[in-house]
Structure 1
Amino acid sequence: MQYFPVFLNAQNLDCLVVGAGEVAARKVELLAKTPATIRVVAPQACQTIQAMAEQGLLKWIQREFDPGDIQGQQLIFVATDNHQLNCDISTLAKAANIPVNVVDNTELCSFITPSIVDRDPLLVALSSSGTAPVLLRYLRQKLESILPARLSELAKFSDKFRDKVKAHFNNVNQRRHFWEDVIEGDIAETVLAGDNQQAEQLIEQKLQQDEQTEAGCVYLVGAGPGDPDLLTFKALRLMQKADLVVYDRLVSKPILELVRRDAEKIYVGKKASLHSVPQNEINQLLVDAAKQGKRVVRLKGGDPYIFGRGGEEAETLVEQGISFQVVPGITAATGASTYAGIPLTHRDHAQSVVFSTGHLKDGSIDLDWPALARQRQTMVFYMGLTGLNVISQQLIKHGVAADMPVAVVQSATTDKQQVVTGTLMDIQQKASEANIQPPALIIVGTVVSLREKIG
């Protein structure tokens, strides 16, 4: 992130604008929405700036720029058609540590202005760091269309009751949960419909209800195989509401970035035979946090109930009387196979697919090999990279052809995805030569041969 986003307090802010054409006018009109003091220096001015000067919205100094004009200024905009003058002013401003923006020339800027969706006091600022103005304009249009026009009234309404709600609830989580109920419920809808009087009655009634310690809950959420675009809407919504997020090693960084910024995050990742936090401690962590009234998201790679140990956590929550929900996610098998270009089933190749773990609880790979080795079936092995050689040998021993196609998919659906294909005879060597590392998924079956055609 090259540009750090901030919102400046414009109260008592002295701003200098050099140039007074239509381009400068667009900046001035934006500044004029704030209480900032605006000085415009230019020998001539467009009608927009002349009119604003006549209305007392700015002071127009009708002459050429003088270096002394930057003295005492806290923000400078430069919008002239003289490139050398623009460069000189930029140099002067930077030397004086005054933030400067040279319109349409990011190299001369120490700050850039975002595209704004204005629902004052609510502002949404968008920036492409100066790289994609058309995309930025497209996104702004989309946001303008979906954000209600009266959203500003909802922001003002919330501010009006902010102190009262703060005094009513001692616990910060209770306050946040209260406001989430307001914003997502009938009170907000009433404000957006224009009936503030009714909305005030509703929020007063809500505050008069007996204050109770809100019971916590746990959400076992599937984060999918890695690509954040594969998250479900429900998963994303709960991630944004969580007080605590307990996540494992398979949750990708881009997905973790979507968690509510101020939520507490605890890493409990595991590798084969290496548990940073034992499962029984994870179970107790979820229980303790819920009993404290927290909304807990247990964020798991893939799906919670497919080799995610979500069932073990759910058992503990039931035993402890903790309310919970399970949110399914796209499991690694479907994510990896799709992104690798390998259909798991195909009428000409496989009429069934079986998911199996390549790493049992006791560390062995003692599986039902005869059942796995059935014909016209695709086999998918989770967590099987370290046992790839054993898997290959056992399948051959139980009747699977030695030249059966195999694919190993590393870090599926992410920018680190790597796919290696071979046969049961040579896949171990090929995976080693490619330096394939966990997390990796193994797909065995003739469907793997379709990758060359449709992958």
Structure 2
Amino acid sequence: MQADRLTVFPAFHKVTEGVVLVVGDGAETAAKVRLLSETTARIRVVAPAPEADLAVLLGADQIEHRARGFDAADLEGAVLAFAASGDAACDRAVVAAARASRVPVNAVDQPDLCDFFTPALVNRAPVAVAITSTGAGPVLAQKIRARIEAMLPLRLGALAALAESFRPAAERVLPKGQVRRRFWAEFFDGIVSEATLAGRADEARRFASKLLNQPDSEPEGFVWLVGAGPGAADLLTLRAQRILGEADVIVHDALVPDAVIAMGRRDARRIPVGKRKGAHSASHAEIEAVLVREAKAGRRVVRLKGGDPLVFGRAGEEIAALREAGVPFAIIPGVTSALAAAAEAAIPLTLRGTASALVLAIGHDSGGATPPDWAESARSGATLAIYMGRSVAGDVAARLLEAGLSRATPVAVVENASLPAQRLLAGTLAELPRLAERDDLTGPTLIFVGDAVAAAGLAGAEPLSAPSVLAA
């Protein structure tokens, strides 16, 4: 037998309105019943003494329970059978009776007695993906299933169902060949797909109708405002990864790491737009113009921002520009840097009896001044997470002291949250102004202020004071 050839042929059994027999009382029977419950099959369970997990399932309308031992008559009308009793003699009797009745049978954990193998299933009905190791490594099949489960959008089945509803019209209206292929390519890759996967069913149907009635029109562009998270590539959301893999153009900030940008298609055009403090390579008006221009040209555009687009990411201005230009868009949230930094330092942002509110604040406004409005919130016990506050740390401290906070209020600073170069510093509000003196801190920083910070894991943190100040 050649090692690179399968010993099985993958196929899907039709079970609609058919009976699937499962024999057994325990956990394996319960597992099979749960799997079969994802189909339209009628499930017949032969279990004289069902264990607790199985007993909970037996009340479903889809399930017929026969509370006795197995009998060959239980195979009447069956299209598939499972022997899951765990008793060798009983399982062999089920297998023998099933084969005599020409019903394909599976004996759990007994590959030699199986006519078919139960796959690890990814269900996106009517789409399904089944993985098998042909009994050699069930755990491996489950690991592969988990990978595929993460890759496939939950609403993929809705997209398939929408396509099925449009298929008769497409075959009637569109000529075979390139025109019809182009329609389906745009259907599954363009704004019809995006609207469906985002749960906007009515909008998706309108887009699909327009595409069907105007098959020769240029593809309609789309813009996604995507949060890249704090930097670590594995903190990117699954939806963000999928969209990056579909984009024609990626417009990215300077703070987005190369590893995240590399998740895009190899042939996608990358457009860097800077946005580092004090070194902006493009004005925001220019960035908005790029997004509109690329989308109007029929391209799928990802605007990739560090953190979350809606948290100090100026997404509001880009949304307004896209709306004014009539460009469809969607927002994909990211892990905002404050949450990532707090997680890395084990800072409880809210804490029973200590902090019942969290304020996300910016250290300076567009003119460089420190906004005073958030300082009052700290007096009520809120935890402050301050973005872009390192260079104005003295002004931040002054505002908070003016608002009535104690000089001993705990402070933590996280630089390069989630990245290998991450650093954690800790001290008090009285020491916070010294942060601006630290010329060894060059990465993005988050400042946390509040009594809840004292409950953080700060034992190994560096002092806030610069080394030169301590030496003096």
TM-score category, normalised to shorter length? 0.5 to 0.7
Q: What CA distance in whole angstroms lies between the structure 2 residues aligned with 1:138 and 1:268?
A: 45
2:349 to 332, 344, 347: 344
Give the TM-score taking structure 2 as reference length: 0.54
- Tell me if 1:373 matches 2:378: yes
- Tell me if 1:220 matches 2:225: yes
Q: What CA distance in whole angstroms lies between the structure 2 residues aligned with 1:238 and 1:268?
A: 19
Equivalence for 2:172: none
Asked if the contact 2:346–2:456 (Cα under 8 Å) also holds between the matched residues in 1, the reply is yes
Deviation at 1:332?
1.0
- 3-state SS in 1 of match to 2:230: coil
Amino acid at match of 2:388: M
Equivalence for 1:15: none
- Cα gap change, 1:318 to 1:405, in 2 (>3 Å): same
- Tell me if 1:303 matches 2:305: no
Amino acid at match of 1:363: G
Equivalence for 1:277: 282
Deviation at 1:446?
1.4
Amino acid at match of 2:358: V
Q: Deviations over 1:108-165 (max 9, x none)?
A: xxxxxxxxxxxxxxxxxxxxxxxxxxxxx987984489779xxxxxxxxxxxxxxx99
Q: What CA distance in whole angstroms lies between the structure 2 residues aligned with 1:141 and 1:267?
A: 40
Amino acid at match of 1:323: P
Asked if the contact 2:393–2:434 (Cα under 8 Å) also holds between the matched residues in 1, the reply is no
Deviation at 1:429?
2.9
- Cα gap change, 1:334 to 1:271, in 2 (>3 Å): same
- Cα gap change, 1:370 to 1:445, in 2 (>3 Å): closer
Asked if the contact 1:165–1:207 (Cα under 8 Å) also holds between the matched residues in 2, the reply is no
Gaps spanning 5+ residues in structure 1: where? 1-24, 32-136, 149-163, 186-205
Q: What CA distance in whole angstroms lies between the structure 1 residues aligned with 2:147 and 2:359?
A: 43
Equivalence for 1:58: none
Counterparts in 2 of 1:342-421, with a 5 A limit? 342-368=347-373, 370-421=375-426
Q: What CA distance in whole angstroms lies between the structure 2 residues aligned with 1:412 and 1:399?
A: 29
Q: What CA distance in whole angstroms lies between the structure 1 residues aligned with 2:294 and 2:382?
A: 43
Percent identity of equivalent pairs: 38
- 3-state SS in 1 of match to 2:216: coil
Asked if the contact 1:226–1:412 (Cα under 8 Å) also holds between the matched residues in 2, the reply is yes
Asked if the contact 2:361–2:374 (Cα under 8 Å) also holds between the matched residues in 1, the reply is no
Asked if the contact 1:349–1:376 (Cα under 8 Å) also holds between the matched residues in 2, the reply is yes
Equivalence for 1:195: none
Q: What CA distance in whole angstroms lies between the structure 2 residues aligned with 1:397 and 1:374?
A: 10
1:313 to 301, 318, 338: 318
Amino acid at match of 1:266: I
Equivalence for 2:82: none
Deviation at 1:217?
0.8
Q: What CA distance in whole angstroms lies between the structure 2 residues aligned with 1:223 and 1:323?
A: 20
Equivalence for 1:448: 453
Gaps spanning 5+ residues in structure 2: where? 6-137, 150-174, 195-210, 461-472
Deviation at 1:209?
7.7
CA-atom RMSD in angstroms = 3.6
Amino acid at match of 1:349: T
